[in-house]
Structure 1
Amino acid sequence: MLYDPSSYANINDVQTTHLHLDLTVDFTKKVLSGSVTLDLVAVVSDVSNVILDTRHVDVRSVHYGTNTSLKFSLDPDDERFGSALRIALPSSLQTGTKFKLTIGYQTTSACTAVQWLEPSQTVGKKFPYLFTQCQAIHARSLVPCQDSPSLKVTYSATIRSHYRALMSAIGTGESEAGDGYKVYTFEQKTKIPSYLLALAAGNLVGRQIGPRSTVWTEPEVIESAAWEFADTEKFVATGENLLTPYEWRKYDLLVLPPSFPYGGMENPCLTYVTPTLLAGDRSLVDVVAHEISHSWTGNLVTNANWEHMWLNEGWTVFVERKIVGRVEGEAYKQFRSIIGWRELEDSIKQFGSSNPLTALTPNLKGVDPDDSFSSVPYEKGFNFLYYIEHIVGGPKYFEPYMKAHVENFAGKSITTDDWKAFLFSFMENNYGAEKRAVLEKIDWEAWLHAPGLPPVRNEFDQTLAKACSELAERWDAARNKTTFEEFSPDDVKNFSSLQKVVFIQRLSEYPPLPQNAIRELDRLYQLTSIVNSEIRFRWQELCLLAEYEPIFPHVVKFVTEQGRMKFVRPLYRLLNRCKNGSELAKKTFREHRSFYHPIAAGMISKDIL
Structure 2
Amino acid sequence: MADPSSFASADQFITRHINLKLCVDFDCRVIRASSSLTVRGLHDSLSQLIFDTKDLTIKKVSVNGQEAKYSLGTSHKFKGTPLEITLPFPLTRGQEIVVDISSETSPKSSALQWLKPEQTAGKIHPYLFSQCQATHCRTIIPCQDTPSVKFTYYCQISVPKELVALMSALHDGEISDPDDNSRKIYRFKQNVPIPSYLIALVVGALEGRSVGPRTTVWTEKELLEASVYEFAETEKMLKYAEDLVGPYVWERYDLLILPPSFPYGGMENPCLTFVTPTLLAGDRSLASVIAHEISHSWTGNLVTNRTWENFWLNEGHTVYLERRIDGLLHGEEFRQFKALGGWKELQNAVNTFGASNVLTNLVPNLHEVDVDEAFSSVPYEKGFALLFYLEQLLGGPAVFLGFLKNYLQVFAYKTVTTEDWKKFLYSYFKDKVEILDKVDWDGWMNTPGMPPVQPKYDMTLANACIALSKRWVEAKECDLSSFSAEDLKDISSHQRIELLTLLLLQEPLPVSHVKRMQEVYNFNEVKNSEIRFRWLRLCIRAKWEEVIPLALKMATEQGRMKFTRPLYRDLYNFDKARDEAVSTFLKNRAYMHPVTEMLVAKDLHVN
TM-score scaled to structure 2, two decimals? 0.98
Find 1:419's aligned residue among 395, 407, 421. Answer: 421
CA contact (8 A) 2:244 2:405 kept: yes
CA contact (8 A) 2:59 2:102 kept: yes
Find 2:273's aligned residue among 271, 274, 294. Answer: 271
Counting only pairs closer than 5 Å after superposition, residues 454-469 of structure 1 correspond to structure 2 as 454-469=451-466
Partner of 1:540: 536
CA contact (8 A) 2:167 2:200 kept: yes
1:494 to partner: Cα distance: 2.2
1:472 partnered with 2:474: no
Counting only pairs closer than 5 Å after superposition, residues 121-270 of structure 1 correspond to structure 2 as 121-162=119-160, 163-177=163-177, 178-270=180-272
| In structure 2, distance between residues paired with 1:567 and 1:547 | 18
CA contact (8 A) 1:482 1:516 kept: no
Partner of 1:447: 444
User: C-alpha deviations, 1:385-435, integer Å up to 9, x for none?
Assistant: 01111111112321111110000000000000000111111112xxx3xx1
1:11 partnered with 2:10: yes
Partner of 2:117: 119
Find 2:482's aligned residue among 472, 481, 486. Answer: 486
CA contact (8 A) 2:134 2:197 kept: yes
Specify the code of the residue in structure 2 equivalent to 1:491: D
Counting only pairs closer than 5 Å after superposition, residues 357-396 of structure 1 correspond to structure 2 as 357-396=359-398
Counting only pairs closer than 5 Å after superposition, residues 586-601 of structure 1 correspond to structure 2 as 586-601=582-597
Partner of 1:583: 579
| In structure 1, distance between residues paired with 2:315 and 2:387 | 11
1:607 to partner: Cα distance: 0.8
Specify the code of the residue in structure 1 equivalent to 2:33: G
User: C-alpha deviations, 1:197-232, integer Å up to 9, x for none?
Assistant: 000000001000111011100011111100100000
1:580 to partner: Cα distance: 0.8
Corresponding residue SS for 1:10 = coil
Q: Which runs of 4+ in 1 moved over 3 A?
A: none
CA contact (8 A) 2:48 2:87 kept: yes
| In structure 2, distance between residues paired with 1:544 and 1:606 | 20
Corresponding residue SS for 1:259 = coil
Corresponding residue SS for 1:87 = strand
Corresponding residue SS for 2:309 = helix
1:484 to partner: Cα distance: 2.2
Corresponding residue SS for 2:473 = helix
| In structure 2, distance between residues paired with 1:242 and 1:93 | 44
| In structure 1, distance between residues paired with 2:227 and 2:398 | 37
Specify the code of the residue in structure 2 equivalent to 1:179: N
Specify the code of the residue in structure 2 equivalent to 1:330: E
Partner of 1:69: 67
User: C-alpha deviations, 1:412-464, integer Å up to 9, x for none?
Assistant: 00000000111111112xxx3xx122111111111111111000011211111
1:94 to partner: Cα distance: 1.4
1:508 to partner: Cα distance: 2.2
CA contact (8 A) 2:347 2:450 kept: yes
1:363 to partner: Cα distance: 0.7
Find 1:101's aligned residue among 99, 102, 109. Answer: 99
User: C-alpha deviations, 1:290-339, integer Å up to 9, x for none?
Assistant: 00000000000000000100000001000110111011111111111121
CA contact (8 A) 2:28 2:107 kept: no
Corresponding residue SS for 1:137 = coil
CA contact (8 A) 2:70 2:86 kept: yes
1:472 to partner: Cα distance: 1.3
Corresponding residue SS for 1:399 = helix
Partner of 1:343: 345
Q: Among the aligned pairs, what percent are the same residue?
A: 47
1:510 to partner: Cα distance: 2.6
Corresponding residue SS for 2:217 = strand
Specify the code of the residue in structure 2 equivalent to 1:92: P
| In structure 2, distance between residues paired with 1:485 and 1:238 | 46
Once structures 1 and 2 are overlaid, which stretch shifts more, 387-396 or 260-269?
387-396
Once structures 1 and 2 are overlaid, which stretch shifts more, 113-122 or 331-340?
331-340
CA contact (8 A) 2:348 2:505 kept: no
1:483 to partner: Cα distance: 5.9
Partner of 2:285: 283
5+ residue gaps, structure 1: none
| In structure 2, distance between residues paired with 1:356 and 1:280 | 39
| In structure 2, distance between residues paired with 1:339 and 1:568 | 20
Specify the code of the residue in structure 2 equivalent to 1:368: D
CA contact (8 A) 2:344 2:502 kept: no
Specify the code of the residue in structure 2 equivalent to 1:570: P
Corresponding residue SS for 2:157 = strand
Specify the code of the residue in structure 1 equivalent to 2:83: L
User: C-alpha deviations, 1:122-169, integer Å up to 9, x for none?
Assistant: 111111000000001111111100001011000010000111100000
Counting only pairs closer than 5 Å after superposition, residues 509-520 of structure 1 correspond to structure 2 as 509-520=505-516
Partner of 1:405: 407
| In structure 1, distance between residues paired with 2:467 and 2:184 | 59
| In structure 1, distance between residues paired with 2:29 and 2:328 | 45
CA contact (8 A) 1:248 1:268 kept: yes
Specify the code of the residue in structure 2 equivalent to 1:114: L
Aligned pair count reads 601
User: C-alpha deviations, 1:458-502, integer Å up to 9, x for none?
Assistant: 121111111111111111222x31462211111112221111111
TM-score scaled to structure 1, two decimals? 0.98
| In structure 2, distance between residues paired with 1:395 and 1:530 | 35
Find 1:502's aligned residue among 490, 498, 504. Answer: 498
| In structure 2, distance between residues paired with 1:395 and 1:335 | 15
CA contact (8 A) 1:228 1:281 kept: yes
| In structure 1, distance between residues paired with 2:156 and 2:398 | 47
| In structure 2, distance between residues paired with 1:507 and 1:455 | 24
Once structures 1 and 2 are overlaid, which stretch shifts more, 563-572 or 84-93?
84-93
| In structure 1, distance between residues paired with 2:9 and 2:495 | 50
Find 1:524's aligned residue among 500, 520, 523. Answer: 520
Specify the code of the residue in structure 1 equivalent to 2:581: A
1:608 partnered with 2:570: no
1:511 to partner: Cα distance: 2.0
| In structure 1, distance between residues paired with 2:81 and 2:596 | 21
| In structure 1, distance between residues paired with 2:195 and 2:50 | 17
Corresponding residue SS for 1:513 = coil
| In structure 1, distance between residues paired with 2:598 and 2:117 | 23
Once structures 1 and 2 are overlaid, which stretch shifts more, 271-280 or 480-489?
480-489
1:101 to partner: Cα distance: 0.7
Find 1:315's aligned residue among 303, 314, 317. Answer: 317
| In structure 2, distance between residues paired with 1:508 and 1:7 | 38
Partner of 1:30: 29
CA contact (8 A) 1:155 1:187 kept: yes
Corresponding residue SS for 1:484 = helix
| In structure 2, distance between residues paired with 1:596 and 1:179 | 33
Partner of 1:438: 435
Specify the code of the residue in structure 2 equivalent to 1:58: T
1:567 partnered with 2:563: yes
| In structure 1, distance between residues paired with 2:465 and 2:486 | 13
Partner of 1:355: 357
Specify the code of the residue in structure 2 equivalent to 1:245: P
